[in-house]
Amino acid sequence: MAQFVLAGKANCPYFAKAELLSDLLQRSLPKFSIYKICVHPSEWQQWLETTCKEHGWQHENSPMIWRELIDRGGKGMLLGGYNDFLEHIQAFYGITSDMPTDLIMKIAAENLKTRELCMEEEVQQQSLIQPKHIWISSALNPTCYSLIPQLFAPGVFHDNPIISLHLLNVGGVEEDLQGIWMETEDLALPQLHEVTVHTELDRAFQQAHAIILLDDIWPEGDEIKKVSERYQQYGRLIDERAHKDVMVIVAGNSLVNLKCSLLLENASSVSSGRFVAMATQLEYEARAQIARKLFVKTAEVTDVIVWGNISGSSHIDLQRAKVFQYKGAIWGPSDFSQPVLEMIYDRKWLESDFMSLVSTHRDTVASMSQRATAITATNGIIAVLKSWNCSAEQVLSLGILSTGQYNLPAGVVFSMPVTFQNGRWSVLSDVIIGDDLRDKLQIAVDELRKEKDLASRTRNGPS
């Protein structure tokens, strides 16, 4: 069986001639089949370049005709343009074509009108669908792999919206991203509208409602410079392209506060309240250490606070921390809690071993499992999204832009305790800052200022 594909610009007279000839052949030859692709003139060049690249062909004009080698399992054989098609038909079938010019021009005009009507219908149908656009950067990061299914779980976004998922990995291998795209579609999620993949910034953060930034691999010795360049770009693109109520979560293991600060500096038209640096993973890791010490589940330890530089000089504060279901001298119902600091009598463990265990935990897990701690990173991101979108009642530690809370200097992205209500976070006001804690917070402030100064110097170059 001969199967051909005819593609061309809707207003091209040669496409119209090839179309009439192919219709004649289909009526005359029972084993002749042709599939037509009518492309609007404004989209033709892009379509042609993409198709030729996929097949390894070279062709410049409309129409383009090829034969599908379905009987041999081949990918197809390019014939060329109208004249090449005509010669092929004459040689194989002894059929030629002689059509009046006015008829050809009339058909070309009808093709264009039909294609434009179809495009209008497509636009109208798309306008009825209003998906939530979620962008994930560094999409080849293992965290992205475990994060994608969780984004569609109930309670992450209000009313379980239709989602358009956009996977960005600047400079990455597109085939690797295509693999994630295929697996995502294989999930058969009813909420999934589309998946797109990007290795360049030309469309990054278009119409974004939520952006999750996972970038975490940078060249040694050049880290701050590369982070500064990339996150300045991200900030400007978010400013230009994202929705003004976008939710931006900066995750990762390095320079998390600095990355968030750079975004804020370069996205001036977006409220500072729409950007957070994620300390939630560190907070949960601290809760796990306390739970092991007290022989309870991690979920039964709450209200642990992470202060400061999330990926640097951070401090774990247990003054509000509570433990539930602790089997001690005093016992109560499931909602009965006791202060963690009163249940842990080993002060030496709290002052030295505890912080050491928390600070090395992520590396220990990665070393044992031979992979990054993607599951716990995913869990932290999902916890933030649930609170942000659905006002889950819990205290979270997040890096946010300080406006002078707790007498911290304004303008520094600093991790502190927050709660969410109606899609907005607010800083807890009933936390006591003693002298010892004040000293620890000042160390983090000084470190964050040094990071910002170094980033500024790398941008400005040597003096």
Contact 258, 250 (CB under 8 A): no
Residues 382 and 415 both lie in one domain = yes
Residues 290 and 416 both lie in one domain = yes
Rounded to whole angstroms, the Cα distance separating 95 from 283 reads 76
Question: Using one digit for the tens of pLDDT, what is the confidence trace for 378-397?
Answer: 999 999 999 999 876 788 99
Rounded to whole angstroms, the Cα distance separating 254 from 311 reads 5
Domain boundary among 125, 141, 175: 125
Residues 146 and 218 both lie in one domain = yes
Residues 228 and 249 both lie in one domain = yes
Rounded to whole angstroms, the Cα distance separating 54 from 51 reads 5
Q: Is 352 helix (H, G, I), strand (E, B) or coil?
A: helix
Beta-bridged to residue 132, according to DSSP, are: 163
Residues 323 and 421 both lie in one domain = yes
Q: Is 133 helix (H, G, I), strand (E, B) or coil?
A: strand
Query: Mean of the per-residue pLDDT values for the chain?
Result: 88
Question: Using one digit for the tens of pLDDT, what is the confidence trace for 18-63?
Answer: 888 888 888 888 778 888 899 999 999 999 998 888 888 999 999 9
Beta-bridged to residue 419, according to DSSP, are: 426
Rounded to whole angstroms, the Cα distance separating 395 from 304 reads 8
Closest C-alpha among 323, 327, 332, 338 to residue 287: 323
Mean pLDDT of 65-86: 76
Domain boundary among 96, 125, 154: 125
Split at pLDDT 50, 70, 90, the class of 73 is very low
With residue 109 as reference, give the H or E element that holds it.
helix 101-128
Residue entry with tokens 């300045």: 232
Domain boundary among 125, 149, 167: 125
Rounded to whole angstroms, the Cα distance separating 184 from 264 reads 31
Contact 29, 93 (CB under 8 A): yes
Give me the long-range contacts of 316-322 (CB less than 8 A, separation at least 24): 316/282, 316/286, 316/354, 316/355, 316/358, 317/431, 317/437, 318/290, 318/350, 319/431, 319/432, 320/395, 320/417, 320/431, 321/290
Question: Using one digit for the tens of pLDDT, what is the confidence trace for 133-161?
Answer: 999 999 999 999 999 999 999 989 988 88
Tell me the CATH number at 352.
3.90.110.10
> For the ranges 193-197, 249-253, 455-459, which has the lowest average pLDDT?
455-459
Name the residue range of residue 388's domain: 280-460
Taking residue 74's Cβ as centre, other Cβ atoms within 10 Å add up to 10
Residue 372 has pLDDT above 80, yes or no: no
Residues 292 and 259 both lie in one domain = no
Contact 19, 107 (CB under 8 A): yes
Residues 151 and 253 both lie in one domain = yes
pTM of the model: 0.74
Edge-to-edge strand ranges of the sheet holding 322-324:
301-302, 322-324, 337-339
What pLDDT, on a 0 to 100 scale, did the predictor assign at position 378? Answer: 94
Split at pLDDT 50, 70, 90, the class of 125 is low
Residues 287 and 317 both lie in one domain = yes
- Token pair in block for residue 130: 């209003």
Rounded to whole angstroms, the Cα distance separating 413 from 395 reads 18
Alpha helix (H) residue ranges in 129-255:
142-151, 174-186, 223-241
Higher-pLDDT residue of 124, 436: 436
Residues 114 and 136 both lie in one domain = no
Residues 422 and 304 both lie in one domain = yes
What pLDDT, on a 0 to 100 scale, did the predictor assign at position 235? Answer: 96
Mean pLDDT of 439-449: 94
How many folded domains does the chain comprise?
3
What pLDDT, on a 0 to 100 scale, did the predictor assign at position 143? Answer: 93
Tell me the CATH number at 120.
3.40.30.10
Question: Using one digit for the tens of pLDDT, what is the confidence trace for 248-306?
Answer: 999 998 899 999 999 999 999 999 999 999 999 999 999 999 999 999 999 999 999 99
Residues 266 and 393 both lie in one domain = no
Rounded to whole angstroms, the Cα distance separating 124 from 143 reads 36
With residue 447 as reference, give the H or E element that holds it.
helix 435-460
Mean pLDDT of 166-170: 94
Rg (CA), the chain: 30
What pLDDT, on a 0 to 100 scale, did the predictor assign at position 461? Answer: 60
What pLDDT, on a 0 to 100 scale, did the predictor assign at position 384? Answer: 94
What pLDDT, on a 0 to 100 scale, did the predictor assign at position 299? Answer: 92
Tell me the CATH number at 166.
3.40.50.720
Widest CA span in the chain: 100
Rounded to whole angstroms, the Cα distance separating 63 from 80 reads 8
